[in-house]
Amino acid sequence: MHPRPLPPPLARGPFSTATARSHGVAPHRLRAHDLRSPFHGVRSPSPADGLIGRCREFAPLLRLDEYFAHETALALAGLPTPRRSEPGPLHVGTIRSRQRRRAGVIGHRLVPATLHDIGGLPVADPVDALVQASNDMGLDDLVRLGDAMSGSWSSHAFARELPVTTLQAAASVRGRPGIRRLREALELVRPGVDSPQETDLRLLIVRAGLPEPEVNVKRYAADGSYLGKPDLSYGWCRLALEYQGDHHRTDLETWRYGLARRERFEDEGWRVVLVSRDDLYGAAAAVLTARIRRYLARCESR
């Protein structure tokens, strides 16, 4: 026997059991097999689709003073967070003295924040969320976020191409846990970075004691023709570093474009070093930085 159809307003997505009762839905109907219970007091007629789906499942329980904050807000804005590949708890902020306590949710009592609408959800501004999350993230996590917010990683205008000075102004507050680490991270942020792996590569190079390379600078041939924009490069040494994600291998058009661009650079006397994810960690990272060091030393001795 099929369960009785839900009232139309409830059939479209998650709803609270209180709302269901106000529509005359009987308690036994809320226990039927076709409804999920992602949170106590919530029912959903369909599976959650990623993070935004999980947030929509919790949204019926949000009070008027509550919003998605901290790491959840950053992820909803399309920014790189440490837990991108795992669900993790939802972070909910409030200005009340009593913060949210519920399984699968971490509540935070926070100062008022600027809010944005993302898919119908109230979400903290990414600058506010960065400050909120700074005590729970490592230095490199914060550098990646700063690079992303000063770059063009997010599809949301309010989370992209932000001046580093704007981020630094938000980090000027005193006495907040993690704020010193955030300030340190922002000193390492560089506009124009295109991916977290490019951030990691730059940090690896600098921490090896090598000169800091330039980020995504347009390079030209002797005749003025455009060569390309390497991820990282040393113009004075004609050394380009290119991070190769898996799409460079699996996408034929990207692969062909990369080959042609590499040939253009090499025809102009550039050395192009291709870097994979494996080169960023462990013994391979030491080998990579040693190669860069040798090439720079040759340039200096010319």
- What average pLDDT values come out for the chain (302 residues) when binned by 10 residues? 85 93 94 93 92 96 94 96 79 83 88 91 97 96 98 96 97 89 98 95 98 97 94 96 75 75 92 95 96 94 76
Predicted local confidence at residue 174, as pLDDT: 83
Q: Within 10 Å of residue 3's Cβ, how many Cβ atoms?
A: 12
Query: Tokens in use for 49?
Result: 């689709």
Predicted local confidence at residue 245, as pLDDT: 78
* Closest alpha carbon to 183 in 169, 194, 193, 195: 169
Structural contact between residues 57 and 14, judged by C-beta atoms closer than 8 angstroms:
yes
**Domains in the chain, ordered, with CATH?**
8-47 (no CATH), 61-187 (no CATH), 196-301 (3.40.960.10)
Predicted local confidence at residue 83, as pLDDT: 75
Predicted local confidence at residue 84, as pLDDT: 66
Structural contact between residues 91 and 71, judged by C-beta atoms closer than 8 angstroms:
yes
Euclidean distance between CA atoms 125 and 56, whole angstroms? 18
Q: pLDDT digits over 278-292, tens only? A: 999 999 999 999 999
Q: Coil, strand or helix: which one is 216?
A: coil
Q: Show Cβ contacts of residue 37 under 8 Å, excluding neighbours closer than 6 positions.
A: 43, 44
Predicted local confidence at residue 1, as pLDDT: 62
Q: Show Cβ contacts of residue 138 under 8 Å, excluding neighbours closer than 6 positions.
A: 82
